[in-house]
Structure 1
C-alpha cells in the first residue's frame, strides 16, 4: 500500500488491516484512540514529510500499539466462509451522505421558491450520521469501504501528473472556498429574509456553521455530514441566482427592444385632395379585412343590439344623446394642406346641427 500517496485514510486502513486478527471490539477501541492522533499529526507534517517518515509503516506502528496494549503477536485469521452483509451500518451511512448531498444540490436550485424542501436532505443526513456517530472521529470503517477506496484512488493520481498538480492546487483553494460558500449561503438567506423568516434563519445558521465545519472536517470526519451538503447547497443557490439574474436581464432586453406602441383610434376622418371631408368611407386592409376602430357605436337610445352603421365606415357619427340624433361631425382641427389646390376650410363642429358640407349619416331618435 502506497501510504505516502494515499494519506491519512490509507495509513489508518493499513493499521486496521494489521490488527484484524484481534476481536472487532478491541480493534475499534485501538483505532478510536489512535485515529485522532494520526489525523492531528498529519496537519503538523512538513511540506515533503509523510506519516511513514514520522511514525513508520502502518504495520510497524500497529505492532507497537499491539505490544503496548499487551496483545499477543499477530496470527493469521482463518478464512471467512460466510459472506459479509451488503447493507452494513458504515455503508448505509456513506450512501446516505452521498444521497443527501445530491438531494441538497437539487434543493438548492429551488430553495428560494420553496425553503421547506431542505427538510428532506436534513432528515437523510441525521439518520445516516446517527449510524456511525459512535465510530469515532476518523470514521475508519467508512474509509475502508471498497467504494470509498476507489474514490480516494481517483482523487489521488500519480505524483507529477497534470491531474495530481490540478488536485493539489484545488486543495490549496479550500480555505477560500469555505469563505465563498459562506457568502453564497448568506446571500440566499438575505434573499429569503423578506418572504420566509424560518428559511432565512435556517440558511443563515448553515452559513455561520459552515465557516467552522470546513477545517474541522479534515480532523473529524463526522463534520463531512455537514460540510459536503453545505457546499452542495451553496452551489445550488449559485445556479438559482444565475438563472434568475439571466431571466431578468433577458426580460429587460426584450422590454427595451419592443417596437413603438401603436395608437388606437376612435374615429377616422378622410379628406380629398381639395380638403373636403369624405363621408361613408369604408376602410379595408391588404387582406380585405375591415379596419375597425375599437369603440362600437350603437343606436342613439342604447337599446339597439345591432350596430347603427358598419364598423369600418368612417367618419363614425357623434351621438347626441340629449336630442336623440346621430351626427357625423367634422374634427375641430384644420384639414391637411394640398399642393395641387387650396383646400377649403372644413366646417367645424357646431352645437346641434351639422354644416352643409357634412351631411348627417342617419337620424334615429329614440324618443
Structure 2
C-alpha cells in the first residue's frame, strides 16, 4: 500500500487533535517535524502509517510522554524512535548520493569502490595513530617516521603492531556493539582531523621557507657592530667611493658614518660610497715598490761607472820633457780622470833627482 500526501496530512491532523489540551506552543514543538518524519517512514517500506506507527492517538500519547507528561519509559522509546527515524532519513540521502557517484568511479555505488580501499585505510589509520603517539611522546617537530620517545626503531615496531591491530579491527567492526562501533568511527574522525592539522603545519613551513625537521638557532650577526668599510687595492691603497653588490646586483649596505666630516654630502648615508671616513683608515698605504738596479749601476745618474778592463798608464819621462796632449790623451792629474783598476803592470816612477853645488845631479841609491 502506497502512502499518499493526504494520508500524511490526515495522520498529522489526528495527532494534533489528540494533543489539543496542551498549550499551542508545546503542541507546535511536538508536531513541528512530524510531516517530514511520516514521509520518511512511508518511503522506507510498504504499509500504512497506522501499521508502522500505530494509531494517531497512540502516537500522540507517545509524544506527550516524551514531553514529560506520561510514562518515562514510553518517552524514552519515542525518543529512540525519533532518533532512528532521523538516522534513517540521513541514510536515505546518503544512499542517493552514493548511487549517483558510483558510475563516475566505475562501480554501481561509491560505497562499493570505497570498500575496495578499506585495507589501505586500515594501514593509514595505523600510521596516523603512530604519528599521534609520536607527537605526544616526542618533544620537538614531527618527521615522516613514527618515533617513540625519539627512537625511530621502537617507533617502527610500534607502527607494525598498530597495523596488525587496525586490520583486525577493520575485519571485526561489524561484530562490535553499537557504542563500540561509534567509538571506532569517532576515533577515525579524530585521526583525520590530526592529519589535516599536520598537513597545514607542513604547508606553513614550506611557504615560509623554514627547514622542516630543524630547530632554529639564534646567532648574533657578526656585522652588527660594523660602522665603516675600507676597500684596499693590490698596492695597499684605500679605494674611495667603492660600492658593494651581491650576486643579484643588490647593494650591500653596512655601517653608519661615525665621523663628523663637514665635507660629507648631506644625503642619505645609504647613497654614499665606502669609506664614509677615509681619514680613519686602519692601515697606511705601503711604500711604492722600487725596481732592482742593473749590475754595475751606482744609482747616481751623474756618476759614470768605473772601467773594469786594462788601461794604458803613461810611463815616466825625463825632467823637462813635454807631456803629450791632444785628442785621445788623458791627463792623469786632471780632475775626473778615471783611476786605473785591474792587474795591468805599471812602471814605478823614478825618484826625484837632487842637484849638486855645480848644478850636477847627485847619484841616487838603488835597491
TM-score computed with the length of structure 1 as normaliser: 0.35
TM-score computed with the length of structure 2 as normaliser: 0.35
Return the structure number with greater helix share.
Answer: 1
Greater relative contact order (Cα < 8 A, sep 6+):
1
Structure with max Cα Rg: 2
